Amino acid sequence: YCVEFRTESLSQHCALETRPYARWMQYLREGHTVCVACQPPAMSTDTQRCSGDGHNAHGDKILHWEAIGNSQCQGTWKKIRQLEHCSCPLVHSFIFT
């Protein structure tokens, strides 16, 4: 499944990332919608959910995220909706880890 989030805030460290494999962090923006896929091995075998997917978050609950590979690139987002059938666009798409 996938979860759509609206990025509420992010640290300035995301825009400063220059390593080739991590340049995607430069394109994160406040107010953008991102799509995050929940796939094995991030999915718990017990719950069939990914940690941090905002399962019980509704409305204006602010959730925290952190980029893998640069712990200083972090921020907050709000859950928009969960999609059982993923149709994430090529840009602004991520995977839970």
Closest C-alpha to 75, from 15, 8, 6:
8
Could you tell me the pTM of the whole model? 0.84
pLDDT digits (tens, 9 = 90+) for 8-61: 999 999 999 889 888 888 889 999 999 999 988 889 989 989 988 988 887 679
pLDDT digits (tens, 9 = 90+) for 49-94: 998 898 888 767 999 999 988 999 999 999 999 988 888 877 667 7
Q: Where are the beta strands (DSSP E) in 11-92?
A: 33-37, 63-66, 74-83
38 CA to centre of own chain? 10
The domain ranges of the chain are: 2-92
